[in-house]
Chains A and B, each alone.
Chain A
Amino acid sequence: MNSFLTKARQSQWYGVGLLLIMTFICWAVFKIACPTTFGSADKMMTYLQSGLIYAVGGCGLYFIVVMGLFDFSIGAMMILSELLAIGSCQYIGYAGIIIAPVVCGLLLGLCNGIAYVKLHIPSMIVTTGLSLIYESFSVFASNWGGTRLDSAYNAFGSYPWNLILALAAFCFCGFLLKYTKVGTYTNAIGSNELTAKNMGVNVNKYKVIAFTLCGLFTGLMSILYLGYGTAQTPQTGMLSQALNFQPLMGTFFGLAFKKYGHPVVSIAIGEFIIAMIFAGFVALGMPTTVNNVVTGAALLIIVCLTTKRVNGAVVK
């Protein structure tokens, strides 16, 4: 029995299996607590829809967080991307919905990367500072294109197009991680930057690439988010920061299960679990504030339970 468990733990699908069990337990707990208002097939599809949006952003953040860095500007990038999409689609239709957020994300991500590499200050400070600038841009963008998406262009807010776009993003992320140098090098930089440099890894270049990719995935997340919500108002005074955390939660799942070799799948399932927990508490009639407390606590518990924490190990 013990050898079976040891073998199972070494399997690359062990982590995914564990996450699926967690998903089922989570579903079962809420289903028992509120059998009529939670967990039916159509409701599950809604939770999945919400989870998919943030999982795409979580994939982008993964490239940054695996190197030990943070990007606190993705909320501002997302708002600006959506507002530019709303404006662009009035001129070029669906092309605007796709191109504007992707280009905006790529450019802002590139800006983040270059600023971080050139300024030599912590990524958290650089991206928080830049998010204030991006927030201001979003006010100009809303004046240009308005804040509401024409209902003729909300295909990415429902099945099947949201699923298709999300799956394409997941596949692209998985491909980058497994079949390009980006995955190996971001991991290597996160493990030991100096050694990575000594092995010929152009650390600054890959940091800029990682930030740019984060921007790209944020752009893709914006497409899904805009389709789902169909409107976006500009935010200033760092209010956009609130949007940073849900994608980040998925990224934490990806990191916690990285050792099993499927971070993208872990991010997606993780975000689905988070979406279910949110919906579960709504079904229980809890206020949103309590939801946030419980979701935050649930995240910490899940990561603690699934990460092999070593006594005395340095955790930063």
Chain B
Amino acid sequence: MENDILLHAEKIDKRFGPTHAVDHVSLDFKRGEIHALIGENGSGKSTFTNMLTGILPIGEGTFTLDGEEVAPKNQVDANHHGIAIVVQEMGTLSGLSVAENLFLGDEDQFMSKGIKNTAAMNKKAQELLDSYGLDHIKATSSIDNYDFEDRKLVEIVKSTWFDPKILVVDETTTALSQSGREQLFKCMMHVRELGHCVIFISHDLEEVLTMSDTISILRDGQFIKTVIKDDVTQDDLKTLMVGREMSDHYYRTDYGESLASDVAVSVKDVSVPDELEDISFDLHRGEILGIGGLSECGMHEVGKAIFGASYNRTGSVTLADGTEVNDINTAINSSIAYASKDRDNESLLINDTIQDNITLPSMRDMGHVLSDKKLKSFATEYANLMSTKMVGVSQFVSALSGGNKQKVVLARWLGKQSDILVLDSPTRGIDIKVKADIYDLLDKMRKEGKAILVISEEIMELIGMCDRIYVMKDGKINGELDRSPELTEQDVIAKMV
């Protein structure tokens, strides 16, 4: 039985200042299994795997892989120990070729007396890409010539070509289309077939139950339990993650409410080259309007277009008072809020404090001389209103988990008293408890008469929360669906493809 254990984590512990991110976690990972690691945002999953893969130094405790203690100094060192990771965000570097990205930090195999055999490196890179069925990606091309999905696939090749003993897949699937996911799942199965282990982090519990053999749950940095997938249901997992029973109905339960006649925003013939074509719709007060579709259908550009953040836009976005929104300043002055899908790069000042992030758009209403005391109490009020898990508002946003970052974004716009909210993927990478909180908040704001546009790739979110859903395809609106208890995922998918 002992021999079945490939990786043993012994009392792994990590603190970030006053935050106890991982609290003496001991866990076993067996050979030939896909072992899911689940928990709420901030439960310590990523910190745990980041220590295993050399992204973060180990605080306390030991990892023992195949009987040998390992403490990787960086990702490449981890690779040399047979540990690899596919990260959630972009993990390839611009300005480098595909081959250079594939072997970055590991060029020594092509080096002789300090000279790199570039031709051999390119050849091997192309062979690897071809063997993964990615022959449309050229090893010698600049990585910048490829889109997010292809770059993610390059990353998957980079992490798996050397048959790692441990492969960590950290919330990667949300960034991939169906075919990309299939490619990733194939790689995960291959690792398992070799008798190695995949540590799979995902918030999609259905995906977790489909893909994994064993599931370990972390909560507030502590290990809760390891379960066999056949022994549990999604609800059991939710309960274990949150620590209390979760209601099945965290979506809205009301049906048949008629829409208010007040139009908050009128979008007319909006086009953006290569993204949108003649989009027109009205967003009403007291309405949650959903926009869905496949990832590349152009729906994410709709949010930017309304917020005045879209370049080369034609057509008009007009508010109830006749104001035309053509730029971000007008949008903010007109009480429009926007949360981007790309939270870290477009919505947050990632290397700044929670206070600055929350108060930034509201500062214009606070006079010319800003009082730090006032700013602090403003930020604290709205961060607390969103139940943000933090040490204080002077904490840097970069230290927060994904869900808490999203709470900071929402707190910012709550503080600005925005009447029109444009939320792109509001629950992306967020655990079910925070999701439930956000859904509650959206419903409350809807009842207060705010106009809310939710752009989402999660069909159930659209069906569960929206009064109307526009489904987009190839940059155009391909259909409209009204809120109804009879509305199914298939109805939405039929309009998407």
Contact = CB atoms under 8 A, between A and B. Distances in A.
A198 B74 contact: yes
Given A181-B107, A198-B55, A259 B100 contact: no
Contact of B309 (A179, A198, A312): A312
B312 interface: yes
A259 B141 CA distance: 10
Interface in B290-313: 309, 311-312
B479 interface: no
Interface string A184-216: 100110111001111111000000000000000
B349 to A, nearest CB: 12
B273 to A, nearest CB: 11
Interface residues of A, number: 24
Contact of B96 (A10, A180, A184, A200): A184
A121 B351 CA distance: 18
Given A187-B96, A192-B93, A200 B116 contact: no
A148 interface: no
A43 interface: no
A31 interface: no
Interface residues of B, number: 29
B118 A179 contact: yes
B144 A184 contact: no
Interface in B169-193: none
A259 B105 contact: no
Interface string B59-79: 000000000000001111100
A200 B93 contact: no
Contacts of B312: 311
B115 interface: yes
Interface in A1-55: 10
Please list the 10 inter-chain residue pairs (A to B) with the smallest Cβ-Cβ separation, ordered nearest first: A200-B76, A311-B311, A200-B105, A199-B105, A191-B93, A200-B74, A191-B95, A187-B95, A191-B94, A199-B104
Interface of B: 54-55, 73-77, 91, 93-96, 100, 104-107, 111, 114-118, 142, 144-145, 309, 311-312
Interface of A: 10, 66, 178-181, 184, 187-188, 190-192, 195-201, 258-259, 261, 311-312
24 contacts: A66-B95, A179-B115, A179-B116, A181-B111, A184-B116, A187-B100, A188-B95, A188-B100, A191-B93, A192-B93, A192-B94, A198-B74, A199-B74, A199-B104, A199-B105, A200-B73, A200-B75, A200-B77, A200-B106, A201-B104, A201-B105, A259-B142, A311-B312, A312-B309
